[in-house]
């Protein structure tokens, strides 16, 4: 890794000490115009989501908190280095000297890339070894970079918050791996496959930090100015709406009208996933609420009916229910994005705003919104194909008996991999 970084990675012009000369040459009036000040606060929020959000969300199991937060830490720290290289080759390669030039936006993208693998981790939580996780991440990041390049650059779909690129891909990637690693005797660990009171409270730390900072996630790499502003507002509204629907559905479908912490911890986040693609478009505040409303229902019902069905009939054991939180809402998000893009008009966006928002420049300067809608739809298909296909291949590799995975009666237990004194 050090050698690869040594050969390929350099600072970009905004993080290089030549910035002061570059600034004067380009007649930029102030240091505050450095991209750092546009994106650093959002970057830090995304960073918190990756490490605290995903990490603590998975601590709900009674004896797998070390593994949840510790392996999440390991995967993320490994993945972001590999992602800087892989994404760099596709997106930030400077052809004049063959170097990848990195700045704050690359760090955000590396965190995004890692998110795809952490989603996949959610499906196999407690059933794999750390070495398997590193393999899952190595291939996951690589597939992600290729898929992202195809969707964003070749197809020219827009996907600010990664509904397709991150959540759909990550969700199906994890589910396919989990299907390949199906354990028929997993009920031998059923004593450990539940929560205790305080582990559920720890998981709420993860939920809340994901929920609160999701507006930063969806706005982190959108256009400066109105793009970031609008993406944050749309995400904020969609998430607020999802919380209400989730609580209502959870209470309605449980006996005695009681709420279930699993739904509160997970389904409340589905709105943020589903508004990812369309967040930067003129979705309108009520549009965001509708998206959030629908996703709260779909996601909660998924936990109640679909997850048990998938485990019983499809042989997919999905520990964290990522199908309900990431895969389905991700696809919904892709569809919402396609519709919103296809429906875009100059009267709503303004002539310059339209070009600016959809990036109709260069090779794509003759595109119109309806075309863009089609490209968005194509993006969804690519994401699903890469997720399922990649997952099956990587799942095959992970079935090799060389990775030290835990026995069926040792799943969901920190004991095999951690020094636990009590």
The vertex-317 CA angle with 251 and 55, nearest 5°, equals: 75
Query: Contact between 388 and a copy of itself (CB under 8 A)?
Result: no
Q: 75, 133 in Cβ contact below 8 A?
A: yes
Query: Contact between 205 and a copy of itself (CB under 8 A)?
Result: yes
Please, which of residues 285-304 interact with a copy of itself by CB under 8 A? Answer: 285-286, 289-290, 293
Nearer CB in complex with a copy of itself: 26/313: 26
The vertex-51 CA angle with 46 and 52, nearest 5°, equals: 95
The binder of a copy of itself chosen from 74, 135, 339, 342 (CB under 8 A): 74
Q: 383, 167 in Cβ contact below 8 A?
A: no
Nearer CB in complex with a copy of itself: 51/121: 51
Of the ranges 27-35, 150-158, 328-336, 405-413, which one interacts with a copy of itself (CB under 8 A)?
Answer: 27-35
Please, which of residues 310-349 interact with a copy of itself by CB under 8 A? Answer: 348-349
Q: How far is the C-alpha of 5 from the C-alpha of 1, rounded, in Å?
A: 6
Buried b / exposed e across 91-105, counting CB within 10 Å, b at 16+? bbeeeeeebbbbbbb
Query: Contact between 187 and a copy of itself (CB under 8 A)?
Result: no
Of the ranges 77-85, 117-125, 146-154, 388-396, which one interacts with a copy of itself (CB under 8 A)?
Answer: 77-85
Query: Contact between 103 and a copy of itself (CB under 8 A)?
Result: yes
Minimum CB separation of residue 171 from a copy of itself in Å reads 24
Q: Decide: residue 371, CB within 10 A, 0-12 exposed, 13-18 middle, 19+ buried.
A: middle
Please, which of residues 249-268 interact with a copy of itself by CB under 8 A? Answer: 254, 258-261, 264, 268
The binder of a copy of itself chosen from 70, 146, 182, 359 (CB under 8 A): 70
Minimum CB separation of residue 10 from a copy of itself in Å reads 7
Backbone angles phi, psi at 99, to 5 degrees: -105, 155
- Record the tokens describing residue 150, joined without a space: 């195809």
- The gap between the terminal CA atoms of the chain, to the nearest Å, is 37
Minimum CB separation of residue 117 from a copy of itself in Å reads 14
Minimum CB separation of residue 382 from a copy of itself in Å reads 27
Query: Contact between 410 and a copy of itself (CB under 8 A)?
Result: no
The binder of a copy of itself chosen from 212, 297, 343, 367 (CB under 8 A): 212
DSSP character at residue 41: H
- β-strand partners of 102: 11
Close Cβ partners of 42 (under 8 Å, ≥ 6 residues apart): 108, 216, 217, 219, 220, 228
The binder of a copy of itself chosen from 16, 311, 408, 409 (CB under 8 A): 16
Query: Contact between 26 and a copy of itself (CB under 8 A)?
Result: no
Q: How far is the C-alpha of 165 from the C-alpha of 149, rounded, in Å?
A: 10
Nearer CB in complex with a copy of itself: 53/171: 53
């Amino acid at each position: 890794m050090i050698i690869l970084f040594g050969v390929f990675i350099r600072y970009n012009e905004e993080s290089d000490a030549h910035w002061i000369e570059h600034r004067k040459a380009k007649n930029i009036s102030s240091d505050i115009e450095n991209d750092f000040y546009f994106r650093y606060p959002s970057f830090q929020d995304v960073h918190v989501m990756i490490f605290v959000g995903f990490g603590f969300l998975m601590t709900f199991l009674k004896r797998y908190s070390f593994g949840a937060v510790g392996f999440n830490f390991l995967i993320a720290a490994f993945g972001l280095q590999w992602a800087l290289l892989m994404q760099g080759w596709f997106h930030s390669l400077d052809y004049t000297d063959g170097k990848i030039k990195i700045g704050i936006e690359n760090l955000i993208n590396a965190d995004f890339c890692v998110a795809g693998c952490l989603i996949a981790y959610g499906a196999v939580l407690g059933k794999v070894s750390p070495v398997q996780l590193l393999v899952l991440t190595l291939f996951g990041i690589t597939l992600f970079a290729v898929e992202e390049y195809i969707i964003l650059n070749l197809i020219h779909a827009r996907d600010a918050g990664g509904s397709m690129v991150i959540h759909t891909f990550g969700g199906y990637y994890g589910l396919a791996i989990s299907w390949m690693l199906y354990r028929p005797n997993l009920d031998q660990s059923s004593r450990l496959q539940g929560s205790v009171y305080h582990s559920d409270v720890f998981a709420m730390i993860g939920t809340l930090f994901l929920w609160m900072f999701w507006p930063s996630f969806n706005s982190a790499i959108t256009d400066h100015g109105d793009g970031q502003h609008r993406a944050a507002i749309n995400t904020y509204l969609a998430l607020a709406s999802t919380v209400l629907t989730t609580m209502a559905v959870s209470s309605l479908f449980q006996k005695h009208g009681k709420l279930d912490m699993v739904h509160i911890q997970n389904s409340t986040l589905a709105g943020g996933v589903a508004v990812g693609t369309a967040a930067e478009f003129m979705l309108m505040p009520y549009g965001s609420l509708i998206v959030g409303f629908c996703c709260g229902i779909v996601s909660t019902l998924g936990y109640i009916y679909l997850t048990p069905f998938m485990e019983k009939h499809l042989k997919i054991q999905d520990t964290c229910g990522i199908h309900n939180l990431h895969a389905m809402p991700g696809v919904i998000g892709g569809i919402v994005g396609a519709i919103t893009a296809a429906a875009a008009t100059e009267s709503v966006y303004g002539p310059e705003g339209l070009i600016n928002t959809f990036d109709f420049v260069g090779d794509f300067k003759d595109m119109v919104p309806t075309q863009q809608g089609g490209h968005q739809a194509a993006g969804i298909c690519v994401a699903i194909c890469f997720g399922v296909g990649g997952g099956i291949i990587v799942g095959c590799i992970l079935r090799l008996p060389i990775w030290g995975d835990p026995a069926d009666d040792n799943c969901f237990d920190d004991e095999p991999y951690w020094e636990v004194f009590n």
